[in-house]
Amino acid sequence: FCFCFSPRMASGMQEKQYTPSLLSFFIYNPTFGPREGEEEKKILFYHPSDVEKNEKIRNVGLCEAIVQFTRTFCPTKPAKSLHTQKNRQFFFEPENNFWIVMVVRNPMIEKPNKDGKSQTIEYQEEEILDTVYGAVVRQCYSMYKLFNGTFARAMETGGVELLMQKLEKFFYKYLQTLHLQSSDLLDVFGGISFFPLDKMTYLKIQSFVNRVEESLSLVKYTAFLYNDQLIWSGLEQDDMRILYKYLTTSLFPRHTEPELAGRDSPLRPELAGNLLHYGRFLTGPLNLNDPEAKFRFPKIFVSAEDGYEELHLIVYKAMSAAACFMISASVELTRDFCEQLDKLVGPQLTLLASDICEQFTINRRISGPEKEPQFKFIYFNHMNLAEKSTIHMRKTASVCLTSVHPDLMKILGDINCDFARVDEDEEIIVKAMTDYWVVGKKSDQRELYVILNQKNANLIEVNEEVKKLCATQFNNIFFLD
């Protein structure tokens, strides 16, 4: 148990603040250019691409030297990050001899000098958390692997040339979606938000999945989401975790709902009998009636007993419900199959969306109007990857908004680092300078972080508030006192 003060959050009025930003991102393999004069062959991808060749070689050489140097102290655990005044470098070896390096510029403050003309730049070296940005680098690789398979697979199929093409094609787009200024504890967890459902509605969804998999025997795996939250998945946890991130931060935000968004009104019984439905493909054909429609779906790679398998990813949506169907990539998907799927899934998914919405509305009425609580929290369960946050507002394709000050998010990250160092269950309470209390609890593979805004509270009162929160929000989850 520890108790500490946080002397942060004070800054002047005329200062200009700059958030962390991506300086460079590169992938290299030291075995590809072992001789002098061949150093450029090691570089498989480099962003930004307009950097002069010698500078690329110099930067990659420096990283290689750092990794080799740190190996002398601990051969099994090479360097993960390098801290300098202006930036921080993150190293990750996802496959043997393949290294990914991300260089992030430290946040900085520009302060006017007394003469009013010149500026002094102050780098905030301790503001960046290794755990957060290390997780971002690992996510980059996981996302690449989801759509392309491993680096080794590309090498086997078409050698270095094919791998470089794939890296260029994927990372050129993907790096534009990295918003390092809003990376935080949720990136470390990489969790999944589950939709709370009553047993009857859950059984209806399970029955729907079984019916579809029986009628369309090509379907190997299914996942079902409502309102960007997961309800059912037939995939392995780690595969679903990265697919969930892709769906909720990239695919769904790009296809914002038409008029029906957020208003899945329960359907009138007479409509349900007709085959009226609001289903549509989010991947593949935009319009089934278009004679020129293309029946190409994105391919994904998921783990299988003998390594990995390649699958077509069909994402089909009706109102706020989305079903993902995964089919072996060796099968060619035709117009007939897509029409069959549309006819079978469209009406059922529309009715299910309506049922879930009705159930959700009833539950909201029973629980009464939501008042703005005095606390905000993040909860994560390492066993099933369940994540819940009242700190984060809606994630969009471009940014994930939080409703608390970045300095408080930094404290949450610091507490998480402390938890990661030890295996025992523990609790940490921090009093921030701005009258906020921050509480972290770790118990039996679960972590809970609470931010309380109670100016005059003392330690005992804060503890009581957290107990109350656990009793109301997590009454079926055991937290050690």
Q: What is the pTM of this model?
A: 0.86
pLDDT in tens, 66-101: 988 888 888 788 888 899 999 999 999 999 999 999
181 DSSP assignment: G
pLDDT in tens, 138-163: 999 999 999 999 999 999 999 899 99
The pLDDT of residue 359 is 82
180 DSSP assignment: G
User: Locate tokens 């278009």: which residue?
Assistant: 290
Write 415-420 long-range contacts (CB < 8 A, 24+): 415/440, 415/449, 416/131, 416/185, 416/188, 416/440, 416/447, 416/449, 417/129, 417/130, 417/131, 419/447, 420/131
For the chain, give percent helix, strand, coil, nearest 5. 40, 30, 35
The pLDDT of residue 267 is 44
Collapse the DSSP code of 369 into the 3-class scheme (helix H, G, I; strand E, B; otherwise coil) and give the result.
Answer: coil
Q: Are 130 and 80 in contact (CB under 8 A)?
A: yes
The pLDDT of residue 268 is 39
Q: Are 204 and 81 in contact (CB under 8 A)?
A: no
For the chain, which domains are there? 16-183 (3.30.450.70), 199-367 (3.30.450.30), 375-474 (3.30.450)
The pLDDT of residue 112 is 81
Distance CA 56, CA 76 (A): 27
pLDDT in tens, 333-392: 888 999 999 999 999 999 999 888 888 887 766 665 555 566 788 999 999 999 988 887
Collapse the DSSP code of 322 into the 3-class scheme (helix H, G, I; strand E, B; otherwise coil) and give the result.
Answer: strand
The pLDDT of residue 464 is 82
Residues in the chain, pLDDT under 70: 1-13, 116-117, 256-276, 364-374, 393-402, 475-481
What DSSP letter does each residue of 281-301 carry, written as one string?
ESSS-S-TT-TT------EEE
